Chain A
Amino acid sequence: MKVLKLIIKNTFRHKLRTFLTILGIGVAVMAFGLLRTVVTAFDSGVQSSSADRLVTRDAVTFINPLPLSYLNQMKQVPGVKQITYMNWFGGTYIDQSHFFARYAVDPNTFFSVYPEYEIGRKTLSEFESQPNTCIVGSGLAQRYNFKVGDVITIDGDIYPGTWEFQVAGIYKPEFKSTDAMSMFLNWNYLNEEVKQTFPARADEVGWYVERIGAGANPGEVSRNIDALFANSPAETKTESERQFQQGFLASAGAIISAMDYMSFVIVGIIMLVLANTMIMSARERTREYAVLKAIGFSGRHLIGMIFGESLLVSLLGGVLGIFLTYPVVNSFASFASFLGTQLSVQSITLITASAAVVIVGIAAAVFPIQRAMNTRIADGIRFVG
């Protein structure tokens, strides 16, 4: 028999209590994993922002459109290498619960400015030439089983009416953090339709995205763009894509912060659950620890045994929690498409959860160890729990 065997036997001495503790830790780790996954997903848009892209929007609010006529002037600004534009299309697919991002994009320039959305040349050419087509993300296609040639019907709100778009292709995200849940439709088609139904809203874009050349100063380029339209009816505000994304998420900032804090509160809860179990175990075993000390086991041995037991329970709970996280995140993802990115458990979440479980395992053992060490052998042997 080795000490490890003793640790295992002690851990499962009260099977129901150990099982409930492991289950409690597992559920808490799962909740931690889910919250961290959602927070990470919120943040992924910001993280995946390109350093060489600037976004120009209306100076007051990005809800206000900008004239398409700005395009040619902006192209002339030194440092601007490529430029594209897009509109938030909105609308409803099936019902409000089936939310995903829908943008009208310039088919000729969009995928050059956003090379991380990977599509084939043939697909792009079809998208450019066929007005009522769209490109969907691989994550979105997977969720709704969209295939090339399928027709997606959208009930418009910003642009009223029933809109039908044929899937011309499916883009693949270059990176894990790249949005795979969006639908891009042809801006030219939208504009032509708007010209006929709402002529006053024709030739308007939601925002411009500029790709700047190597060596260009983003701040200077931004200032030069905005200077072009100063004192005009539609003044602009140009900022880095990261700043734009952060501003976009600011409205949800409080929720994200709350989730962030909650995830760490959960770590505290895990510790309390485990500490409670460990304190009960240590109290019940006061006499045994005294006997072990009497027959020659040193403080180091007891510390090892108590730490070992605490770590074993917390690690088992952690493993259970991590296994539970995957199906829970997947089922949560089915109604969390508003995040605009595919929810997936990131390595950093697993590493954080594992580290939290180890820290909790160690911390929860501190008090029982202190008790075991400080109890005199003679007192411990007489102890009646």
Chain B
Amino acid sequence: MFDLIEIKDVEKVYRRDSIEAPVLSGINLMVKDGEFLALMGPSGSGKTTLLNMIAGIDKPTSGQIVVGGTDISKMSESALAKWRSSNIGFIFQFYNLIPVLTAYENVELPLLLTKLSKSERKQHVESALNIVGLSDRMKYYPKQLSGGQEQKVAIARAIVTDPVILIADEPTGDLDKNSAEEIMTLMQRLNTEFKKTIVMVTHDAHTASKARVLRRLEKGDLLPAEAEAA
């Protein structure tokens, strides 16, 4: 398997007025195609910042991030937006569904940016909702769904464009134990069955154990690789 994500000497420093706050220093990380990586670390360790940079929603202060052969650290905002729409699927802690749209419409959102016809979009949306097991909840609004179901809709939204990478930021952080288990099983299925490369941030060791590779961050440094988590 080739290295899908290559992070080379990445540093990130946040600046506010004259104060500089280094968040990440000298990060080097390779993520293979089809890998399921969990990033763990205490608050402020820089794990979400690293995740955001891999996803192309933040840029390193120095260093290089190459995804699928493309150096995304030098891309413009508009080019990044286009790149994200076809390469990245996002799964957030608080689901972040649009409350005025049904489950179907929420999943359809990323497809509005494509040239697919209405019937093609329908096919994609139904297929994504079928994968997450919510075919019977298409017309439900987010407030009519449980937390676990909302996160499943969010996962369907993340996979509907068939992206190469899934980015998950604390995907079970707002769920009860059973729902969290279901979501992690689903994510493992997406990794093994649908060959999605997943990069997940979590502070929960049990959730992290579902990934195949675990890396820890501490005070902006990436600690040496540990044994495979699962």
Contacts and interface: CB of A to CB of B under 8 A. Distances in A.
> Is chain B a partner of chain A in the same complex?
yes
Interface of A: 1-3, 6, 9-10, 12-13, 287-288, 291-299, 301, 376-378, 381
B216 interface: no
A12 B52 CA distance: 33
Contact of A1 (B78, B81, B112, B113): B112
A282 B107 CA distance: 22
Leading 8 A-B pairs by shortest Cβ distance: A296-B85, A377-B57, A9-B100, A291-B96, A298-B81, A1-B105, A378-B52, A295-B110
Given A1-B112, A295-B85, A297-B113, 6 more contacts: A6-B98, A6-B101, A13-B99, A291-B96, A294-B55, A296-B84
A273 B110 CA distance: 33
A132 B113 CA distance: 80
A381 B82 contact: no
A116 B112 CA distance: 61
Contact of B58 (A1, A6, A376): A376
Interface in B95-126: 96, 98-101, 105, 108-110, 112-113
Contacts of B157: 295
A288 B112 contact: no
A98 to B, nearest CB: 55
A288 B98 contact: yes
Contacts of A301: 113
Interface in B148-167: 157
A312 to B, nearest CB: 14
A294 B84 contact: yes
A378 to B, nearest CB: 5
A160 B92 CA distance: 88
- Of B100, B105, B108, B169, the most chain A CB neighbours within 10 A belong to B100
A287 B90 CA distance: 14
Contacts of B92: 291, 381
29 contacts: A1-B101, A1-B105, A1-B108, A1-B109, A6-B98, A12-B100, A291-B90, A291-B92, A291-B96, A292-B109, A293-B57, A294-B55, A294-B84, A295-B85, A295-B90, A295-B109, A295-B157, A296-B82, A296-B84, A296-B85, A296-B86, A297-B85, A297-B113, A301-B113, A376-B57, A377-B58, A378-B48, A378-B49, A378-B52
Given A1-B105, A296-B82, A381 B58 contact: no
Interface of B: 48-49, 52, 55, 57-58, 77-78, 81-82, 84-86, 90, 92, 96, 98-101, 105, 108-110, 112-113, 157, 169
Contacts of B77: 299
Contacts of A298: 78, 81-82
**Main DSSP-derived SS at the A contact region:** helix
A378 B84 CA distance: 14
A208 B86 CA distance: 83
Contacts of A297: 81, 85, 113
Given A10-B100, A13-B99, A378 B85 contact: no
A1 B100 CA distance: 12
Contacts of B57: 293-294, 376-378
A220 B90 CA distance: 84
A2 B49 CA distance: 33
A294 B83 CA distance: 10
B112 A378 contact: no
A296 B81 contact: yes
A381 B85 CA distance: 17
Contacts of A292: 109
Contacts of B58: 376-378
A376 B78 CA distance: 13
B81 A3 contact: no
A381 B84 contact: no
Nearest to A298: B81
Contacts of A2: 112
A131 to B, nearest CB: 75
A109 B130 CA distance: 90
Contacts of A377: 52, 57-58
Contacts of A294: 55, 57, 84, 90
Contact of A287 (B49, B96, B101): B96
